[in-house]
């Protein structure tokens, strides 16, 4: 059952990561359009800069889970790399509960409150374009939830690895 959970979480984060990577195309198109309009026609848009911030923010946030899946987050492991593999695994399992769960859990909780407040106010941007902000603020708890469940899936995977099994 845990193995199915790990595979399902991995599949969801791979799908989200692939979808998120495709958002770089509209991001580049918006930037090119804005540069083209501003430099050639002296007609800057009111929406392009803000749209690039939202697209890149979505891209950055939603990639957290897939980054965790492939173990590409930055960490300082100069000391732990000198230790045997088994000790490294034990330290990762301990730091999961001491650092990852409290930190990501607190961020997830705060992100849910932040998004709920935005939805409750039907919050819009202060700019001239004034897009709604609540969908973008919802990305925060969603991405943190994906990160959290991927962290738990990695924890399960490392427990099996510690026992000498693979998933």
What pLDDT is attached to residue 76?
A: 83
For residue 33, being part of any structural domain is answered with: yes
What pLDDT is attached to residue 166?
A: 86
For residue 138, being part of any structural domain is answered with: yes
Q: For residue 34, what are the domain limits?
A: 2-162
d(CA 16, CA 86): 31
For residue 167, being part of any structural domain is answered with: no
Q: Return per-residue pLDDT of the chain as tens, 167 residues.
A: 999 999 999 999 999 999 999 999 999 999 999 999 999 999 999 999 999 999 999 999 999 999 999 999 888 888 888 999 999 999 999 999 999 999 999 999 999 999 999 999 999 999 999 999 999 999 999 999 999 999 999 999 999 999 999 88
Which tokens hold the place of 68?
């965790």
For residue 38, being part of any structural domain is answered with: yes
Domain count, the chain: 1
What pLDDT is attached to residue 79?
A: 87
For residue 102, being part of any structural domain is answered with: yes
155-158: long-range contacts at Cβ-Cβ below 8 A with a sequence spacing of 24 or more? Answer: 155/93, 155/96, 156/2, 156/5, 156/6, 157/6, 158/89, 158/92, 158/93, 158/96
What pLDDT is attached to residue 74?
A: 87
Which tokens hold the place of 75?
């960490």
For residue 43, being part of any structural domain is answered with: yes
């Amino acid at each position: 059952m845990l193995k199915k959970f790990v595979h399902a979480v991995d599949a969801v984060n791979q799908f989200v990561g692939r979808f998120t990577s495709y958002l770089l195309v509209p991001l580049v198109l918006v930037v090119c359009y804005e540069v083209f309009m501003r430099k050639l026609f002296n007609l800057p848009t009111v929406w392009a800069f803000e749209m690039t911030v939202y697209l890149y923010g979505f891209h950055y946030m939603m990639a957290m889970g897939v980054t965790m899946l492939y173990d590409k987050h930055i960490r300082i492991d100069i000391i732990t790399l000198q230790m045997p593999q088994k000790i490294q695994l034990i330290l990762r399992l301990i730091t999961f509960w001491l650092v990852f769960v409290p930190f990501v859990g607190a961020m997830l909780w705060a992100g849910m409150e932040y998004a709920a407040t935005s939805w409750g106010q039907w919050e819009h941007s202060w700019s001239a374009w004034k897009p709604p902000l609540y969908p973008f603020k919802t990305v925060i708890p969603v991405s943190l939830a994906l990160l959290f469940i991927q962290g738990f899936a990695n924890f399960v995977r490392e427990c099996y690895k510690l026992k000498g099994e693979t998933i």
